[in-house]
Amino acid sequence: MNSPPSTVETRLLATAEQLAGGNNSLPPAPWVHPHLEQGVVPVKGRQLRASHAIRKGELLLVDVPYAVIPVVDDPASSDSLLCSSPACSRPTQRSSGRIACPKHCIADVVWCSPACQEFDEVRHRFECTWLQRYATPVRAKWGEYDFGMLWLIVRILASRQGELHHAVGHVDQTNPRFQGGWDAIQAFCGSTESWSHAQIRSWTALVKKYLRSGPALLHDLTADEIVALICREEANSFGLYPRETGVFPVPEPAVDRGDQYGAAVYPRAAIANHSCCPNIMHKPDHQGRMVFTASRDIAAGEECCISYFDLTKRVDLKSRRDHLQGLFRFVCGCDRCTAEEPSDAESDWVGLPFVE
Ligand SMILES: [Zn+2]
Ligand SMILES: [Zn+2]
Ligand SMILES: [Zn+2]
């Protein structure tokens, strides 16, 4: 007989059930809870805040990616390779007759159906020549991480191109309180000043070599503008994982979020700041839409935060702070980090040179 599910399992199952319902159980995206608002505070900049009380379990945000890429080790054998059509973005099974690019750009580009391929034709044309020319050399010379970053930037440029072409996306009719489209991407936090000179030099070299406007990649941005875009993308993109991120307190035994299968940029979800004791848990649905759910009751005026990493993987104060400083360029001052800081007396003692 099965043992009864733990609290976390019940919660995961409930969320999974809600998400599995797909279009029927989620409101049309992008969707923002009526009690969720944006604020601006010194140092941190933008934040999400509750304008009125929000109850545990309430859906807070469903956001649609501006750009998304699959992240899998071996596309041919993967059952979680995402359909390239932005309107779909569903994981495709290798046995399901998925369609490869007729120009054989890269094996990571597939569509789940002829309809998705047709819908995505113009957008994919924007990236196909670039992928054919640069995917193999970038992967060989710079590795998978930098390739993924550059590809995500190319897909952001493709969305921007589509937006300019159709002159849409500037005004978000669904929710005028939250900007969408390229304007939202431009408003992301993160500038060249937040990163080391060595990092900026490395990204500048990549941009000059692989992302210049030319026959393989048509855009009207300067190299400096693309480097600035990378700075914002790196500070604001989300990894896509099969299970929730940010369940807190971390249950015992801990359930990690699983293996990454994608990376994406979300115009609205990116506004959420980090906390190591967050009141929001987040998880992409089966179409790559980012879903925020209140993981406890939230009081009016309280900031609404997510966790930028898997809380089951980094537990102590030092590993959390080192990770956030390295990847997101800030020293975490959340309630949990502040409470766990050694007192002044202790840290003075630790800081003293050892004298025999
Ligand atoms: Zn599809
Ligand atoms: Zn192609
Ligand atoms: Zn913290």
Ligand with the closest atom to the CA of 273: 3
**pLDDT tens for residues 143-194?**
999 999 999 999 999 999 999 987 654 455 555 689 999 999 999 988 888 8
Ligand with the closest atom to the CA of 133: 2
Q: How far is the CA of 174 from the centre of ligand 1 (A)?
A: 24
Strand order of the β-sheet with 303-306 is 36-41, 45-50, 303-306, 273-274
pLDDT in tens, the chain (356 residues): 334 444 444 444 444 444 444 445 788 889 999 999 999 988 778 999 999 999 999 999 999 999 999 999 999 999 999 999 999 999 999 888 899 999 999 999 999 999 999 999 999 999 999 999 999 999 999 999 999 999 999 999 999 999 998 765 445 555 568 999 999 999 998 888 889 999 999 999 999 999 999 999 999 999 999 999 999 999 999 999 999 999 999 999 999 999 999 999 999 999 999 999 999 999 999 999 999 999 999 999 999 999 999 999 999 999 999 999 999 889 999 999 999 998 865 555 454 444 43
In the chain, the domains with their CATH numbers are 26-64+238-339 (2.170.270.10), 67-172+190-235 (no CATH)
Ligand with the closest atom to the CA of 86: 1
CA distance 311 to 4: 24
**pLDDT tens for residues 174-184?**
556 899 999 99
CA distance 83 to 285: 14
Which residues hold their Cβ within 5 A of ligand 2, which is an ion?
101, 103, 105, 128
Ligand with the closest atom to the CA of 88: 1
Ligand with the closest atom to the CA of 124: 2
Q: Which of 232, 237, 332, 231 is nearest to 290 (CA)?
A: 237
pLDDT score, position 355: 42
Q: How far is the CA of 242 from the centre of ligand 1 (A)?
A: 18
DSSP string, 148-160: HHHHHHHHHHHHH
Q: How far is the CA of 195 from the centre of ligand 3 (A)?
A: 20
Angle among Cα 120, 121, 122 to the nearest 5 degrees reads 100
Q: How far is the CA of 4 from the centre of ligand 3 (A)?
A: 33
Chain-centroid distance of CA 182 in Å reads 16
Q: How far is the CA of 124 from the centre of ligand 2 (A)?
A: 6
Helix, strand, coil percentages for the chain (3-state, nearest 5):
40, 15, 45
Q: How far is the CA of 20 from the centre of ligand 1 (A)?
A: 17
pLDDT score, position 66: 97
Ligand with the closest atom to the CA of 117: 1
The structure's pTM equals 0.88
CA distance 310 to 38: 25
CA distance 50 to 303: 6
Cα separation values, 31 from 85, 138, 178, 218, 294, Å: 21, 37, 10, 32, 15
Q: Which of 338, 200, 342, 336 is nearest to 276 (CA)?
A: 336
